[in-house]
């Protein structure tokens, strides 16, 4: 194929990728930009250095990092650009959450569709928030107590109302209680969740939970691990997958997870691996521990091994926690993968494929 035709195809894919970003289809957009990069790199005639640089910027814009709670003095604190407009009582429409702390970027939805979570008492839908291009910034109204995304009206909140460092921030639907007669328990749970949506905007543009002023909304250090299409050029290929595949599976009921496990370093992303962060104690959802799974330096990579139930169980800092997507209905392209204490209602079944990837069974 002639280079001029390849360039036309590449430019069309770039435009499509940019358009998909406006709809929070970040995983699909990243796949398109990666295909464009491969086109320019395989072109024979001409100098494509500037084109490659341009595409790499687009790729970087898809590497979303979670918005989480950080300590007040942290370097990753987010500061809004349009503070006066947001806090004005005379505003007639919503205000975009563009960032002053990260020029050209804003607070965006990390997914185009809502996820489901909950327990036997209650449930709700949510979408985690991240930092992405300002053109995709969330538009909200702020009444001095909480932020409502437009046009849906979903509230911006610390997920599950857990006001602790490293807890992710999301937009959440109203909570559905499964037993209306259990008024005392429902009221206690509702009060806790409401605490997560009570936010204060400081004069410097930073945002903090009104009931935890020592914390601020900030950005995670590394991008998240999430599900991609089987043929995605961005799928994670594990360096030691043969060892991970051949390790004897331990009995989850009779044997403790004491073996060192296999290091989760990646061949597809040289020098990188699957890394963890801080454990989150979540008293509402799962009543156990949660841990983020992110793409970070290989030297910090987690280790793990499979048990006889096809659960990838981690060792080390996440010892005993298993890879999950939460509920099975969250098994879709772009959905985040993380580690958690095993829960009967959540999905944990994964397998190692012959190409070195890992996928849900």
**Dihedral sign of CA atoms 139, 227, 25, 39 in order:** positive
Res 185: pLDDT: 84
pLDDT higher than threshold 70 for residue 246: yes
β partners of residue 266: 238
Percent of the chain whose predicted confidence (pLDDT) is above 90: 66
pLDDT higher than threshold 70 for residue 104: yes
Res 6: pLDDT: 87
Average pLDDT, the chain: 90
Candidate from 204-208, 267-271, 282-286, 305-309 with smallest mean pLDDT: 282-286
Res 284: pLDDT: 63
pLDDT higher than threshold 70 for residue 315: yes
Contact 82, 98 (CB under 8 A): yes
Sequence-distant (≥ 6) Cβ neighbours of residue 318 within 8 angstroms: 276, 279, 291, 302, 339
Task: Please give the helix or strand (H or E) that residue 170 lies within, else none.
Answer: strand 169-172
- CA 240 to CA 265: how far, in whole Å? 7
Res 42: pLDDT: 85
First to last CA, the chain: 39
Sequence-distant (≥ 6) Cβ neighbours of residue 315 within 8 angstroms: 257, 259, 260, 261, 302, 303, 304, 305
pLDDT higher than threshold 60 for residue 255: no
Question: What pTM, to 2 d.p., does this model score?
Answer: 0.90
* Residue-wise pLDDT tens digits, 185-210: 888 888 888 999 999 999 999 999 99
Closest CA to 193 of 175, 169, 171, 178: 175
């Amino acid at each position: 194929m002639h280079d001029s035709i390849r360039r036309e195809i590449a430019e069309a894919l770039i435009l499509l990728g940019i358009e998909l970003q406006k709809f929070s289809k970040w995983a699909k957009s990243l796949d398109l930009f990666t295909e464009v990069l491969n086109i320019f790199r395989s072109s024979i005639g001409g100098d494509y250095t500037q084109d490659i640089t341009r595409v790499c910027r687009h790729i970087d814009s898809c590497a979303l990092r979670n918005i989480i709670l950080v300590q007040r003095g942290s370097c990753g604190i987010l500061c809004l650009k349009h503070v006066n407009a947001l806090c004005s009582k005379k505003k007639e429409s919503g205000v975009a959450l563009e960032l002053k702390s990260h020029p050209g970027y804003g607070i965006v939805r990390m997914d185009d569709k809502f996820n489901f979570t909950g327990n036997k008492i209650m449930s709700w839908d949510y979408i985690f928030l991240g930092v992405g291009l300002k053109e995709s910034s969330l538009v909200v109204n702020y009444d001095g107590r909480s932020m409502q995304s437009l046009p849906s009206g979903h509230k911006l909140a610390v997920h599950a109302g857990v006001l602790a460092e490293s807890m992710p921030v999301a937009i959440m639907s109203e909570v559905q209680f499964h037993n209306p007669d259990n008024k005392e328990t429902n009221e206690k749970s509702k009060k806790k969740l409401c605490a997560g949506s009570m936010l204060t905007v400081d004069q410097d543009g930073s945002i903090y939970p009104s009931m935890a002023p020592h914390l601020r909304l900030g950005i995670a250090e590394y991008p998240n691990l999430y599900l991609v299409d089987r043929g995605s050029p961005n799928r994670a290929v594990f360096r030691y997958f043969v060892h991970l595949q051949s390790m004897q599976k331990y009995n989850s009921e009779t044997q403790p997870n004491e073996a060192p496990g296999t290091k989760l370093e990646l061949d597809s992303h040289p020098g990188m691996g699957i890394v963890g962060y801080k454990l989150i104690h979540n008293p509402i959802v799962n009543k156990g521990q949660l841990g983020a799974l992110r793409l970070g330096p290989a030297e910090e990579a987690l280790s793990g091994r499979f048990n006889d139930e096809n659960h990838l169980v981690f060792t080390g800092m996440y010892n005993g926690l298993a890879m999950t997507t939460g509920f099975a209905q969250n098994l879709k392209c772009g959905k985040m993968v993380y580690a958690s204490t095993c829960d009967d209602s959540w999905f944990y079944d994964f397998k190692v494929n012959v190409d070195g990837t890992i996928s849900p069974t």
